[in-house]
Amino acid sequence: MFQQIIDIQREIYLGFAVHMKDFAAGGGWASFLAFLPMGVVFGAVHAMTPGHSKSVLATYLAGSSAKAHRALLVSLALSFTHVTMAVVIALLALPLVSRSFIDAGSSPALEAVSRGLLGVIGLWMVLTALLRHSHSHAQGEGLLMGFAAGLVPCPLTLFVMTFAMIHQVVVTGLLFAATMVMGVALTLSAVALLAMVFRDSISYLMRRHPQLLASFSRATSGVAGLVLIAVAAGEIANWLNAR
């Protein structure tokens, strides 16, 4: 299954390269625009591979009281930031990206910032679980979580943008990145909704015991916060050891 996902990504990327080169050689917009919707498939399939903060997203939503529409907003914020950061780095801040072959496409500094912010959110979740009778999330908390988790740039978007910049047709990279956002958002939205279904299913089973449900809600929020703190601490420790 994983190899099939890799193969699909490779085929779409090679197709993008061919169409982008044709466009750069004066081939016109028609062929490239006809291929452009494949960017949605590219983003959706790529988001199925390890990474992209799927576990962080699911953990946060499982411990939150967010409704479905807000969970989707969190996944959209994560998707948009994840791809946009890669575009910004390619255009303005390429020195932030590791140039080693093994870590190509990674951005250690931004990864450390991202995990640090997630640790702060996790600490907030733990404190609210301990100090409040019920854990209610501020409206901006979920969007902040999505932004923080998405700070780690998408490596494939970096490759797409760099390839487009080398051939001096940046607009093709920007358009393809825009369609990739849609694809990534589709996959992460599915993860968000599945996390909501799991949380709500557990809540449904416990509704006959309101006090137990309230305790379970606080405990889930606290555990989710601890997981975010552990992820943040581990990533920052790895970043410090690598320096």
Please tell me the distance from the alpha carbon of residue 59 to that of residue 158, in angstroms, as a whole number. Answer: 27
Average pLDDT, the chain: 79
Place of tokens 């931004």: 110
With tokens 């700070």, the residue in question is 151
Torsion of CA 95, 18, 184, 103, to 10 degrees: -30
Residue owning tokens 């979580």: 145
Between 42 and 58, the higher pLDDT residue: 42
Q: What is the pLDDT of residues 9-55, one digit of tens each?
A: 889 988 998 998 899 888 889 989 999 999 999 999 988 887 667 87
**pLDDT per position as a tens digit, 135-187:** 455 557 778 888 887 877 788 888 888 888 888 898 999 999 999 999 999 99
Confidence (pLDDT) at 108: 60
Backbone angles phi, psi at 157, to 5 degrees: -65, -40
- pLDDT tens per residue, range 179-208: 999 999 999 999 999 988 888 877 776 666
> Domain segments of the chain: what residues?
2-242
Q: What is the pLDDT of residue 38?
A: 93
